[in-house]
Copies of this chain bind each other. A is one copy, B any other.
């Protein structure tokens, strides 16, 4: 899986990487149990500091998406715990996006289509 950083984005680097890994897991680009690059390898590859990658891995770990051990590095968790609910933050953010999309004149059907594409794809 290729991870790309947008250096002009307002989203911090460690969060951009986190988001792309979460999306990779969701789409299946990253399989359950799959090895992630080592902290050092990913830092080198992206031209960033190891601390930044380390922060990403610790966040993903605390969120239950990955596990780390000193022997094998980081891996996607075999069974990610499913809360079954949409978090308050994600609901708020979704509402904001839908509002903006609606005001942009994009029809509901097109938005739904995109959501389905992301969900199924």
Q: Which residues of A approach B to under 8 Å, CB–CB? A: 7-9, 19, 22-23, 25-27, 62, 65, 67, 69, 77, 80, 82-87, 89-106, 108, 110-112, 114-116, 118-120
Q: Which residue of B lies closest to A69 (CB)?
A: B7
Q: Are B120 and A103 in contact (CB under 8 A)?
A: no
Q: How many protomers of this protein does the assembly include?
A: 4
Q: Which residue of B lies closest to A75 (CB)?
A: B7
When chains A and B are docked, how far (Å) is the Cα of A99 from the Cα of B119?
A: 7
Known: A86-B106, A108-B120. A99 touches B26 (CB 8 A): yes
14 more CB-based (< 8 A) A-B contacts, given A25-B99, A98-B115: A7-B67, A19-B92, A22-B96, A22-B100, A26-B99, A65-B103, A80-B103, A83-B105, A86-B110, A86-B114, A87-B104, A90-B101, A91-B114, A94-B118
